[in-house]
Structure 1
Amino acid sequence: MNATIPPMHAALSVLGTMAGQYIAAQGQAPQVKQPLPANTSTKQFTGTATLATCDICQVRPKYFDGQKTHSYCGKSCATAAQKKHSPNSKPKRNKTTKATRRLCDHCHKQPKYNDGTTIHSYCGKTCAQKAKAAGVSAAQPTQLAKSVESFFCRVLTVLITVSRSSPTNSGCLLCGKAVKGKGHFCSQACTSMAEKSAPGLIEVPQGHDTFKSVADQFKASWRHQTPCPTVRRVHKVISSPTSIVKYEAYRAAVEARGNFVAAGRSAGNENRRWHGTTRECNLGDNGNCTLCSSQTCSLCCILKTSYNLNLFGKKTGWGRFGHGIYTSSTSSKSNDYSTNVNPSSLKAILLNKVVVGKGYKMTQDNTSLTAPPAGYDTVLAEVSSGGSLNYDELVCYTNDAIRPSYMVMYDA
């Protein structure tokens, strides 16, 4: 989402007020905790949005003037409150106020539910069920109410999604705050929040350094004699903590054998490599970040459980360098394997972290391999005169040597 849109905070306030009106009508006043966007004052957008009703009528939402949430819904209730607290005012006794008549017939605390056409007897489903159990009939919510509820669920989703959009070039992908050192999240709190969505995706804002890094690698490694497509979206892959622990343990073991850090390389000689596969669903289209449930959608299966050697050859039927997991430094090479089952204007490709370790260089096919030669961790299939390859390939032979890191959507 474009972080340069000036009315963004005002839009958040409006959406929050709208959501408050609906939730207040059901007699609920939960606190929706959302990450606070960077460079946003608490006067513009509070990190904890309390959706509450007027202190006097307890029906309409409190008035929000764009900077402050007041105690009352409007002038009438504000005037009533002033009279109520005036030293000359006399308390009324034994009278049922208008506000009291609008409270739930069961709990007598929350306002009655209004579906837009009817004011029901109870504040929500809980009290309606309790009243029914006690032998009192309860009005059922209308289809309109269900539609309104669905709408505001989407509104709250938008609020959370907007708050994730970082206005800074290298901020946390969840809250936008500055990130110390390497990584995508500013704190353990944001890291834990992201892990709760695993396996899943978080879209990277286009102005973010990570988006630029991934898009630049895609463009720079497009080596086919065709125009390089434009990258439209980049999604950070959130893998389960258990999956990451296995990968990091394998990387540490390879590093211990090869001492790559001492030679000026990354731990385990880790590199980023491309992989194209089949997408059965519309993941990545129009902001869709929900993984599908199909057992044959290769893209979603990889995002859920990473790569699985047991599925080797399922799509291609063979491998030039045997029973392994194939990636490439050439984005256009992996693009050849990226296919859509459903019509789409975009294609998906995965950028992965791969523990290369000590790679064995090969230029000719060897389809019988099930592991790299002794003393090596991977196979580096290189292009050479008289060789069988037009573009490079990197092959690993263990599931723990690779993890998807980004899903990239680009013009088909």
Structure 2
Amino acid sequence: MARWSWFGKGRWQAYSEATSRILEDAHQEGHSSVRISLKHDDYNVDLQTMQQASATQPSKSRSVRREDTEVSSQASTSGRSSFTLSNLTRSLSEASLDWAQRPCCTVASGDEKLSVQRQFSDKWDKNTGPLPNIGQIYKIHVIASVEERFRRCCEEIGDVPVFGHGESPGNQQRRFHGTRQTCNFNGHPCDSGDCPACSILHTGFSVDFIGSTSGNRGYYGAGIYLTSWSSTARGYGGSENVIIVTQVAAGMVEVVRQRTTAAIPEGCHSRVANKSSGKDELMVPLPAQCLPLFLIIF
């Protein structure tokens, strides 16, 4: 049994590109089977069984599964196997492209939970009330296009000097975004357009519906609002509140202290409002500047 694993961003693109190389290597090295492992998925391919199908054997099917998706390669009875390495490569590549369009959430790992919980508790203002109990923390696996647009946005912004930390591509920061979740969430985003949280999980952030519920398009300009304070994010959405931990490409930041609806000045990519209360709100005008990372449910 040979094993190959890779982790991190761009997993679907990496999977599609690497499938052919992995299978060719396994075949040339004489492995009878290969296991392809992704971060949250496990694929088994039995090369030997597939390639030894013969005319005297009935049709056989071997499958690669992910949740309710199945990709099959059929062995024919026409005198030789219709299965080839390229057929499997093509099937898996097509499947990976299909799966790349499906957002999903998985329960965060122990280390991921600790990281989110630490940030949440460190930035909770106890003057607003006791620290709430977190019900569950999910890791968000966005569709490939959302991940790609964020990467390109960071590249377009370029390296930004960060005080005490050198330079950062896009000046990336991890912030909280409070919103509503109207469905009975069970780990799979619902399809209702009336559920703001699941809409973000499906297609990333959007500015199309800013103020559609509250009528407030933002005290500091029209855009997506985030904050470093978990207690501030907890105040949005009422009893249906959830918090989306988000990676933000803040870029060059304009600092304001008064309300304004003016456009962000040229050369800046975002606006931060430092309030007299000591709290902050970061406004970014472009959805591409935000990448959802984790979903906190109470």
- Tell me which interval the TM-score lies in, with the shorter structure as reference length: 0.5 to 0.7
Deviation at 1:49, TM superposition (A): 11
Choose from 345, 348, 353 the match for 2:242: 348
Q: Is 1:200 equivalent to 2:104 in the alignment?
A: yes
Q: Is 1:361 equivalent to 2:255 in the alignment?
A: yes
Identify the residue that residue 174 of structure 2 maps to in structure 1: 272
Choose from 209, 212, 220 the match for 1:311: 209
Q: Is 1:328 equivalent to 2:208 in the alignment?
A: no
Which residues of structure 2 form unaligned runs of 5+?
1-34, 47-57, 59-65, 68-92
Compute the TM-score of the two structures, normalised by the length of structure 1: 0.47
Q: Is 1:339 equivalent to 2:238 in the alignment?
A: yes
Deviation at 1:196, TM superposition (A): 3.9
- Select the structure that is richer in strand: 2
Instruction: Name the aligned partner's letter for residue 393 of structure 1.
Output: E
Q: When the two structures are aligned, how many residues end up with a matched partner?
A: 218
1:5-54 C-alpha deviation (Å, 9 max, x unpaired): xxxxxxxxxxxxxxxxxxxxxxxxxxxx89699xxxxxxxx98699xxxx
Instruction: Name the aligned partner's letter for residue 297 of structure 1.
Output: C
Q: Distance in 1 between matches of 2:122 and 2:150?
A: 27
Over 3 Å counting, the alpha-carbon distance change for 1:312 and 1:36 in structure 2 is closer
Deviation at 1:260, TM superposition (A): 5.2
1:103-128 C-alpha deviation (Å, 9 max, x unpaired): xxxxxx8xxxxxxxxxxxxxxxxxxx
Instruction: Name the aligned partner's letter for residue 406 of structure 1.
Output: F
Identify the residue that residue 302 of structure 1 maps to in structure 2: 200
Contact 2:101 2:144 in 1 (8 A): no
Identify the residue that residue 51 of structure 2 maps to in structure 1: none
Choose from 75, 99, 118 the match for 1:216: 118
Deviation at 1:338, TM superposition (A): 3.3
Q: Distance in 1 between matches of 2:37 and 2:98?
A: 12
Identify the residue that residue 379 of structure 1 maps to in structure 2: 271
Q: Distance in 2 between matches of 1:195 and 1:251?
A: 25
Over 3 Å counting, the alpha-carbon distance change for 1:337 and 1:252 in structure 2 is same
1:210-264 C-alpha deviation (Å, 9 max, x unpaired): 11001111111111421111223211111111111111111111125x3559962
1:386-405 C-alpha deviation (Å, 9 max, x unpaired): xxx56210000111111211
Contact 2:210 2:222 in 1 (8 A): yes
SS in 2 for 1:246: helix
Q: Distance in 1 between matches of 2:238 and 2:111?
A: 28
Q: Distance in 2 between matches of 1:335 and 1:321?
A: 19
Compute the TM-score of the two structures, normalised by the length of structure 2: 0.64
Identify the residue that residue 403 of structure 1 maps to in structure 2: 291
Q: Distance in 2 between matches of 1:193 and 1:407?
A: 24
Instruction: Name the aligned partner's letter for residue 242 of structure 1.
Output: S
Instruction: Name the aligned partner's letter for residue 358 of structure 1.
Output: M
SS in 2 for 1:379: strand
Over 3 Å counting, the alpha-carbon distance change for 1:261 and 1:268 in structure 2 is farther
Choose from 155, 159, 166 the match for 1:252: 155
Q: Distance in 2 between matches of 1:333 and 1:234?
A: 18
Instruction: Name the aligned partner's letter for residue 372 of structure 1.
Output: I
Which residues of structure 1 form unaligned runs of 5+?
1-32, 38-45, 51-108, 110-155, 158-188, 342-346
Is the radius of gyration larger for structure 1 or structure 2? 1
Choose from 121, 131, 134 the match for 1:228: 131
Contact 2:161 2:168 in 1 (8 A): no
Contact 1:235 1:408 in 2 (8 A): yes
Instruction: Name the aligned partner's letter for residue 373 of structure 1.
Output: P
Instruction: Name the aligned partner's letter for residue 254 of structure 2.
Output: Y
Instruction: Name the aligned partner's letter for residue 329 of structure 1.
Output: S
- Higher RCO, Cα 8 Å, sep 6+: 2
What's the Cα RMSD here? 3.4
Identify the residue that residue 281 of structure 2 maps to in structure 1: 393
Deviation at 1:409, TM superposition (A): 1.8
4+ residue segments displaced more than 2 Å: 33-37, 46-50, 192-198, 258-263, 338-341
